[in-house]
A and B are shown apart, each in its own frame.
Chain A
C-alpha cells in the first residue's frame, strides 16, 4: 500500500543533541512538507520541498534543517539551536497538479529534556 512512513513514533533526547526524524513516501509525490504541532494548536510549516535537491524555509524554520536527496525521502534534523524542540512533528506529501491531495504520515513525538 502507498503511504507515508515516519520513524520512530516516539523519540527522546537530551538537550544539546541534534536529532534526525525520518520521512519516507512511496506515493510518487513531488512535494513534501514538515509541520510542527504543539499541544492544543494547529500545525505550522517548518520546511518544504517541491523537487529533489531543493527546499525552502517555512514559517518556523529556525533551529531546523532538511535535505531532499531522493524523491521519496525528506528527513528533518532538529538541531541544538531549536529553543523549544519538544513537539509533535508531522510529515506530509502532495502531488503537483492534484490540489486536493495532501496526505500526512503518522507523526513523531519528540521529547527533549
Chain B
C-alpha cells in the first residue's frame, strides 16, 4: 500500500537555526513524486519543494532543501536559517500514478520557531 509517514507531531527550533522534518514513504511504483507543503494557521496549502523519483540531485528552493534517500525511502525537508514566519504545519505528500495523480499526505508536523 502507498503511504506517507511523518513521525514528528511537533518540533521546536530556535530562530536562525536549521531544522529537519522527517518523511518516509512506501510505494512499489518506480515513478513517483514527493512534495512538501506548508500550511499556516490560515489553512492554505503552500507548495514548497518537489523531488521526482528519477532526479539524481536533491531538490533545493531557497532556504528549503529535500534530503532524498531513495534506498531508505525517505524525503526529509531541511529548512535552513529558520524564521518566525516558518511556524506552521508541514505536510509531506507523494503523487501516485493512479486516481489521476492524486497526492497522498502524511499526518503533518507542527513546527514552532522560537525567538
Contacts and interface: CB of A to CB of B under 8 A. Distances in A.
Interface of A: 31, 33, 35, 40-45, 48-50, 56, 58-59, 88, 90, 92, 94, 99-107, 109
B83 interface: no
Nearest to A88: B43
A45 B101 CA distance: 11
Majority secondary structure of chain A interface residues (helix, strand, loop or mixed)? strand
B107 A94 contact: no
Contacts of B35: 100, 102
Interface of B: 4, 33, 35, 37, 42-47, 50, 52, 91, 93, 95, 99-103, 105-108
Majority secondary structure of chain B interface residues (helix, strand, loop or mixed)? strand
A104 B42 CA distance: 13
A7 to B, nearest CB: 14
B107 A106 contact: no
Contacts of A104: 37, 44-47
Given A99-B33, A99-B52, A100-B52, A107 B103 contact: no
A107 B41 CA distance: 12
A35 B78 CA distance: 26
A102 B45 CA distance: 10
